[in-house]
C-alpha cells in the first residue's frame, strides 16, 4: 500500500457507492466489510455496533457468519470492548497476548493472530468498533491504521443516518431527579442558571467528497474567515489592547496560521473526505493524542487548537450556531468538555452566570479569561454528559466544589436566598471601598491584594486596597508558550506599575518549580520525588542566572524614576537573600554605568515560607527592608502537609496554636528590628484567620481581591486591644478548639466575620 491516502481513497470510493445504493442497512454493512477487507488485504474485517449498551457483531468478512448478531461484548470486555471503553486504537501482532483478550468460539477467530481495531466515534463516544484481523502475526502499519480511522469516521455517519444505532442509547441512561456533581473550583463564586451546552453537534451531512478540489477550496476559504475572526477578536474594544487576552490570542493566531494543521486537513481531503469530514478527522486524531498527554500546559495549548478546529468546522458547514451565537435567552450555566478562551469571550456576559467543564485547569487560558469576566468556573467535573441535559436547572457553587443538577424546589429556594445574601453583602462591601481599614480603637490594618496578571492590577481600584502586596511574576511565565524575553517582561512590569498608579506594588521574583512547571524549562521538577521541597523558587532562580538577571533588569528598567519593591520567594537561609539582592545590585550598577534612569528607591524583601528562616531572623532582619509570611508554603512545611493534597486540606487548621505561636515569634523579632512585616498567604483572606492574625500583631495583609471587602468589614468592627488580649490568653492556654473559641468570641463581640 502506497499511502494512507490511497488506501483510504479506495475505501471511500467504494463506500460512496454503497451509500448511494438503495440497499438496506444490513446489506450495506456487509458490503462495507468486504470493501475494507479487500483494500487492506485483510482476511477479517468486522463491524461491531452499540445496541442496548452492548457491542454487537453486525457484519463480518472472514469470521463465521453465524456469529453475526450473536457475538456481543460489554464495554470494557475483550479487545473490542476495551477499544470502545477507552475510545482508543489497538494494534496487536498477537491478539491473545493482550490482557483484555477474550476468546469467542462462535466466531472461529482462533486462526487469526494479528488484530487492529479503531473506535467508531460519534459525539466523542464510541458507538462501535471497526476491526481487522490477520492469520500472520504482524503489526498493522501506521498507514493502515490511518486508513481504518478515516473509514471509521465515514462509517459513523453512515450508521447514524441508516438509523443503525440508537443515539439516545449511546448517551447512557440519563439519571432523573437531583444529582450532585463535584469538581475542582477554578474560579470561585456561586451561580444559578439553565444548563446550556456550548457545543451543538455539527451534523456532517456528507463525508465522502464528490470533487476533491472543490472541498479544498472550501477549506481554504474557511481558513481565511477563521483567521479574520481571530484578528477581529484580538481587536475587540471590550478587552482592549494590552490585556492578558492579547497573549492568549497570540497563541491562537499561531495555531490559526499553522502550516502543519492545514496540511493535515489537506491530506485528509486527498484521501477523499469532504472538507467537514477532513477537519473532523484531524480533530479526532488530535483528541486521541491529547488523551495520552499528561503535561497539563501542553494539553491546554491543544485545547486552543481544538477550539479553532470547531470554529473551522462551523464555518465550513455553515452551521455557525454555538450556544453563544444562538444567544443566551436566560441566565445560563455553560456546560462544555472544555472551552477555548475565544469561545468563552463570545458569550453575553449579562446572561452567562457560570461555567462547568469536564476538563480545565487552574492555569488554562479559559480560566484566566473567566476570572477576568467574573464568571465562576467548576472544572474536572466527571459524568457531565451522562447527567446533565440541555435546559436542566443547575446550582453551581464553585466554593463548595459542587453543582446541583435539577434541584428540588426547596433547595432552589435556599440557594436563591443565599445568592441574594451574597449580593447584599457584596453591595455592602463595595460601599466600604473608600472607607479606611481601621479598627474601632483607631488602629490601622493595611490591606493589599495578591495579583499576577495585568488585569488584576485594576482590582486595586475596585476593591479599595492600598496596593499589591504580592505580585506573582511567574504567572506571566506560566501562561506563555515560550520564555518571556526581557523586553516583554519589562513592558509588562511597567504596565502593572502604571495600572497601580501611586500605590505600591511588591514584585515577587519568579517562583516556579514545585507544582508550577514551565513547559520550556522541561527539566524542572520532572524527576523530583518531593517537588515542593525541591529545586524551585529562589533555589532555581539563583542557579538559572540568566533567568534571574533578565528579570532583575526588566524590573529595574520598568521602575525607572519610581519606587521598586522586590521580594524573593522561599528564602531558606540569609545568604540566599544576599545572593539574590546581588543579582539586582549588579544590574543596577550596569544601568548606572550606562547612564540609564534608575528607580528612585528600591526596597528588598524576603518571604518567610521555610520554617528554618525563623531561627535566623537576627541575621536576616538587619539586611532586609521588609518581610512577608507566605502562609501557604509555611503551613505545608510546618505541618509536613502537601498544600495540593485535597485529603489534607481539612486536616490542619490555620487557626492552631502551632501556626499562631510561630507567626507571633516572627512578629516580635520584626518589631525588635523595626522591619515591616506582612502576611500574604491565603490565610489572611479569611476573616476569622485575619482576626487571629491581628490578635498576634499582624497589621498588614496581602489577600485575594475578592476578600478585601469582607476583611475590611471585620477590621472596622473589631477592637484591636480586645482581640490582642483575647488571643494572647488563648495562646497561653491552648487547650480549646481554637476555631470555635475565636468564632464564639467574635460573635459575642459583634465582630463581622461574614
Interacting span for ligand PEP (CB under 6 A) from 266-274, 480-488, 597-605, 627-635: 627-635
Contact between residue 660 and residue 689 where contact means Cβ atoms under 8 Å apart? no
User: What is the dihedral angle through the alpha carbons of 335, 336, 339, 344, rounded to the nearest 10 degrees?
Assistant: -30
Residue 630 in contact with Mg ion, rule: CB under 5 A: yes
Which CB atom, from 544 or from 632, has the smaller least distance to ligand PEP?
632
Contact between residue 307 and residue 336 where contact means Cβ atoms under 8 Å apart? no
Question: Of 385-424, which residues contact ligand PEP (CB under 6 A)?
Answer: none
Question: Of 463-482, which residues contact ligand PEP (CB under 6 A)?
Answer: 470, 472
3-class SS at 44? strand
Among 609, 689, 699, 752, binds ligand PEP (CB under 6 A): 609
User: What is the dihedral angle through the alpha carbons of 591, 593, 598, 604, rounded to the nearest 10 degrees?
Assistant: 70
**Among 658, 680, 615, 285, which residue's Cα sits nearest to residue 449?**
680
Which CB atom, from 381 or from 538, has the smaller least distance to ligand PEP?
538
- Alpha-carbon gap, residue 631 to 610, rounded angstroms: 10
Which CB atom, from 480 or from 631, has the smaller least distance to ligand PEP?
631
The residue behind cell 470494557 is 76
Residue 633 in contact with Mg ion, rule: CB under 5 A: yes
- Alpha-carbon gap, residue 463 to 430, rounded angstroms: 7
Three-state SS string across 638-654, please?
Answer: HCCCCCCCCCCCCCCCC
Residue 514 in contact with Mg ion, rule: CB under 5 A: no
Question: Of 220-259, which residues contact ligand PEP (CB under 6 A)?
Answer: none
Beta pairing class for 125-134 and 114-122: antiparallel
Which CB atom, from 195 or from 512, has the smaller least distance to ligand PEP?
512
Q: DSSP assignment of 174-235, as one string?
A: PPPS-EEEE-EEEE--EEEEEEEES-PPPP----B-S-HHHHHHHHHHHHHHHHHHHHHHHT
Q: How far is the CB of 534 from Mg ion (least distance, A)?
A: 13
Among 109, 215, 276, 511, binds ligand PEP (CB under 6 A): 511
Among 62, 630, 685, 697, binds ligand PEP (CB under 6 A): 630
Residue 536 in contact with ligand PEP, rule: CB under 6 A: no
Question: Of 96-135, which residues contact ligand PEP (CB under 6 A)?
Answer: none
- State the number of binding residues for Mg ion (CB under 5 A): 3
Among 215, 633, 699, 752, binds ligand PEP (CB under 6 A): 633
Interacting span for Mg ion (CB under 5 A) from 95-103, 265-273, 371-379, 628-636: 628-636
Q: How far is the CB of 513 from ligand PEP (least distance, A)?
A: 11
Which CB atom, from 341 or from 630, has the smaller least distance to ligand PEP?
630
Which CB atom, from 633 or from 752, has the smaller least distance to ligand PEP?
633
Q: Which does 118 bind (CB under 5 to 8 A by kind): Mg ion, ligand PEP, none?
A: none
Which CB atom, from 61 or from 536, has the smaller least distance to ligand PEP?
536
Residue sitting closest to Mg ion (CB): 633
Which CB atom, from 359 or from 633, has the smaller least distance to ligand PEP?
633
Contact between residue 37 and residue 43 where contact means Cβ atoms under 8 Å apart? yes
- Alpha-carbon gap, residue 743 to 707, rounded angstroms: 18
Q: Which does 472 bind (CB under 5 to 8 A by kind): Mg ion, ligand PEP, none?
A: ligand PEP
Which CB atom, from 12 or from 680, has the smaller least distance to ligand PEP?
680
- State the number of binding residues for ligand PEP (CB under 6 A): 10
Contacts of 502 by beta carbon, 8 Å cutoff, 6+ apart: none
Interacting span for ligand PEP (CB under 6 A) from 35-43, 96-104, 559-567, 631-639: 631-639
CA distance to 102, 155, 421, 503, per residue, from 134 (Å): 17, 21, 67, 73
Interacting span for ligand PEP (CB under 6 A) from 111-119, 185-193, 347-355, 624-632: 624-632
- Alpha-carbon gap, residue 281 to 260, rounded angstroms: 14
Backbone torsions φ then ψ of 711, nearest 5 degrees: -70, -40
Which CB atom, from 598 or from 638, has the smaller least distance to ligand PEP?
638
DSSP annotation of 347:
S
Interacting span for Mg ion (CB under 5 A) from 141-149, 377-385, 448-456, 602-610: 602-610
CA distance to 192, 331, 338, 399, per residue, from 394 (Å): 6, 10, 18, 15
Residue sitting closest to ligand PEP (CB): 630
Interacting span for Mg ion (CB under 5 A) from 15-23, 387-395, 626-634, 743-751: 626-634
Q: DSSP assignment of 483-506, as one string?
A: PPPHHHHHHHHHHHHHHHTTS-EE
Interacting span for ligand PEP (CB under 6 A) from 189-197, 629-637, 664-672, 710-718: 629-637
Contact between residue 431 and residue 412 where contact means Cβ atoms under 8 Å apart? no
Contact between residue 478 and residue 516 where contact means Cβ atoms under 8 Å apart? yes
Which CB atom, from 364 or from 451, has the smaller least distance to ligand PEP?
451
3-class SS at 395? strand
**Among 118, 94, 151, which residue's Cα sits nearest to residue 272?**
151
Which CB atom, from 324 or from 470, has the smaller least distance to ligand PEP?
470
C-alpha cell at 374: 467574573
- Alpha-carbon gap, residue 434 to 444, rounded angstroms: 14
Exposed/middle/buried for residue 458 (C-beta within 10 Å: 0-12, 13-18, 19+) = middle
Which CB atom, from 251 or from 572, has the smaller least distance to ligand PEP?
572
SS3 content of the chain, % helix, strand, coil (to 5): 50, 15, 35
Beta pairing class for 601-608 and 626-629: parallel
Q: Which does 631 bind (CB under 5 to 8 A by kind): ligand PEP, Mg ion, none?
A: ligand PEP
Residue 631 in contact with ligand PEP, rule: CB under 6 A: yes
Interacting span for Mg ion (CB under 5 A) from 55-63, 323-331, 406-414, 624-632: 624-632
Site string for ligand PEP, 680-699 (x = CB under 6 A): xx------------------
Q: Which does 109 bind (CB under 5 to 8 A by kind): Mg ion, ligand PEP, none?
A: none
Interacting span for ligand PEP (CB under 6 A) from 222-230, 330-338, 557-565, 630-638: 630-638
Interacting span for Mg ion (CB under 5 A) from 462-470, 609-617, 639-647, 716-724: 609-617
Q: Which does 196 bind (CB under 5 to 8 A by kind): Mg ion, ligand PEP, none?
A: none
Contact between residue 56 and residue 72 where contact means Cβ atoms under 8 Å apart? yes
Q: Which does 355 bind (CB under 5 to 8 A by kind): Mg ion, ligand PEP, none?
A: none
Q: Which does 681 bind (CB under 5 to 8 A by kind): Mg ion, ligand PEP, none?
A: ligand PEP
C-alpha cell at 631: 502562609
Note the residues at the interface with Mg ion (CB under 5 A). Answer: 609, 630, 633
**What are the residues binding ligand PEP (CB under 6 A)?**
470, 472, 511, 609, 630-633, 680-681
Amino acid at each position: 500500500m502506497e499511502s494512507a491516502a490511497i488506501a483510504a481513497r479506495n475505501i471511500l470510493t467504494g463506500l460512496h457507492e454503497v451509500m448511494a445504493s438503495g440497499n438496506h442497512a444490513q446489506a450495506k454493512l456487509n458490503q462495507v466489510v468486504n470493501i475494507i477487507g479487500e483494500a487492506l488485504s485483510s482476511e477479517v474485517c468486522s463491524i461491531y455496533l452499540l445496541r442496548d449498551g452492548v457491542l454487537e457483531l453486525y457484519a463480518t468478512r472472514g469470521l463465521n457468519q453465524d456469529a453475526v448478531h450473536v457475538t456481543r461484548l460489554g464495554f470494557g470486555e475483550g479487545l473490542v470492548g476495551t477499544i470502545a471503553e477507552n475510545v482508543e486504537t489497538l494494534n496487536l501482532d498477537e491478539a491473545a497476548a493482550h490482557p483484555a483478550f477474550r476468546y469467542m468460539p462462535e466466531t472461529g477467530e482462533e486462526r487469526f493472530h494479528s488484530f487492529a481495531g479503531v473506535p467508531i466515534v460519534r459525539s466523542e463516544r464510541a458507538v462501535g468498533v471497526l476491526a481487522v484481523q490477520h492469520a500472520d502475526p504482524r503489526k498493522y502499519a501506521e498507514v493502515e491504521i490511518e486508513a481504518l480511522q478515516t473509514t471509521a469516521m465515514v462509517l459513523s455517519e453512515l450508521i447514524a443516518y441508516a438509523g443503525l444505532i440508537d443515539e439516545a442509547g449511546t448517551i447512557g441512561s440519563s439519571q432523573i431527579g437531583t444529582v450532585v456533581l463535584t469538581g475542582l473550583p477554578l474560579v470561585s463564586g456561586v451561580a444559578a442558571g439553565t444548563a446550556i451546552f456550548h457545543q451543538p453537534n455539527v451534523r456532517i451531512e456528507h463525508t465522502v467528497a464528490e470533487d476533491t478540489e472543490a472541498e479544498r477550496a472550501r477549506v481554504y476559504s474557511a481558513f481565511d474567515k477563521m483567521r479574520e475572526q481571530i484578528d477581529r477578536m484580538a481587536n475587540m474594544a471590550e478587552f482592549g489592547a494590552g490585556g492578558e487576552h492579547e497573549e492568549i490570542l497570540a497563541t491562537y493566531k499561531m495555531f490559526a496560521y499553522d502550516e502543519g494543521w492545514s496540511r493535515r486537513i489537506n491530506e485528509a481531503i486527498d484521501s477523499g473526505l469532504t472538507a467537514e469530514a477532513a477537519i473532523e478527522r484531524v480533530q479526532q486524531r488530535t483528541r486521541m493524542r491529547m488523551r495520552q498527554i499528561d503535561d497539563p500546559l501542553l494539553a491546554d495549548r491543544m485545547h486552543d487548537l481544538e477550539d479553532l478546529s470547531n470554529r473551522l468546522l462551523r464555518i465550513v458547514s455553515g452551521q455557525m450556531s454555538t450556544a453563544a451565537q444562538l444567544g443566551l435567552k436566560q441566565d445560563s450555566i455553560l456546560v462544555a468538555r472544555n472551552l477555548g478562551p475565544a469561545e468563552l469571550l463570545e458569550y453575553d456576559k449579562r446572561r452567562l452566570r457560570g461555567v462547568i467543564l469536564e476538563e480545565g485547569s487552574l492555569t488554562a487560558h479559559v480560566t484566566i479569561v473567566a476570572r477576568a469576566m467574573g464568571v465562576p468556573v467548576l472544572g474536572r467535573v466527571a459524568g457531565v454528559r451522562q447527567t446533565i441535559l440541555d435546559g436542566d436547572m443547575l446550582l453551581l457553587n464553585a466554593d463548595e466544589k459542587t453543582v446541583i443538577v435539577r434541584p428540588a424546589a426547596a433547595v432552589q429556594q435556599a440557594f436563591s436566598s443565599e445568592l441574594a445574601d451574597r449580593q447584599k453583602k457584596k453591595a455592602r462591601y463595595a460601599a466600604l471601598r473608600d472607607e479606611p481599614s481601621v479598627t474601632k480603637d483607631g488602629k490601622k490594618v493595611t490591606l493589599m491584594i495578591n495579583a499576577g496578571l495585568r488585569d488584576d492590577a485594576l482590582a486595586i481600584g475596585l476593591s479599595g486596597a492600598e496596593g499589591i502586596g504580592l505580585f506573582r511574576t511567574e504567572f506571566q511565565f506560566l501562561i506563555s508558550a515560550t520564555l518571556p524575553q526581557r523586553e516583554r517582561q519589562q513592558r509588562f512590569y511597567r504596565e502593572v506599575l502604571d495600572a497601580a498608579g501611586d500605590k505600591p506594588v511588591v514584585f515577587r521574583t519568579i517562583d516556579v518549580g514545585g507544582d508550577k512547571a514551565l513547559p520550556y524549562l522541561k527539566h524542572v521538577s520532572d524527576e523530583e520525588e518531593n517537588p515542593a521541597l525541591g529545586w524551585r523558587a529562589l533555589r532555581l532562580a539563583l542557579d538559572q542566572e540568566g533567568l534571574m538577571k533578565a528579570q532583575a533588569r526588566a524590573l529595574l528598567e520598568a521602575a525607572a524614576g519610581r519606587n521598586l519593591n522586590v521580594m524573593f520567594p522561599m528564602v531558606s537561609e540569609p545568604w540566599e537573600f544576599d545572593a539574590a539582592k546581588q543579582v539586582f545590585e549588579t544590574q543596577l550598577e550596569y544601568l548606572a554605568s550606562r547612564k540609564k534612569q534608575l528607580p528612585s528607591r528600591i526596597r528588598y524583601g524576603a518571604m518567610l515560607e521555610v520554617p528554618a528562616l525563623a531561627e535566623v531572623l537576627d541575621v536576616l532582619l538587619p539586611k532586609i527592608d521588609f518581610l512577608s509570611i507566605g502562609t501557604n508554603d509555611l503551613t505545608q512545611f510546618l505541618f509536613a502537609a502537601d498544600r495540593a493534597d485535597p485529603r489534607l486540606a481539612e486536616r490542619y487548621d490555620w487557626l492552631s496554636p502551632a501556626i499562631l505561636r510561630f507567626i507571633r515569634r516572627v512578629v516580635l523579632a520584626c518589631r525588635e528590628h523595626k522591619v515591616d512585616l506582612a502576611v500574604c498567604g491565603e490565610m489572611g483572606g479569611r476573616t476569622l484567620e485575619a482576626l487571629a492574625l491581628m490578635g498576634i500583631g499582624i497589621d498588614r495583609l496581602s489577600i485575594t481581591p475578592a476578600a478585601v471587602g469582607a476583611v475590611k468589614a471585620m477590621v472596622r468592627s473589631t477592637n484591636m486591644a480586645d482581640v490582642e488580649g483575647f488571643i494572647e490568653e488563648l495562646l497561653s492556654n491552648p487547650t480549646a478548639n481554637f476555631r470555635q473559641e475565636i468564632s464564639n468570641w467574635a460573635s459575642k463581640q459583634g465582630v463581622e466575620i461574614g
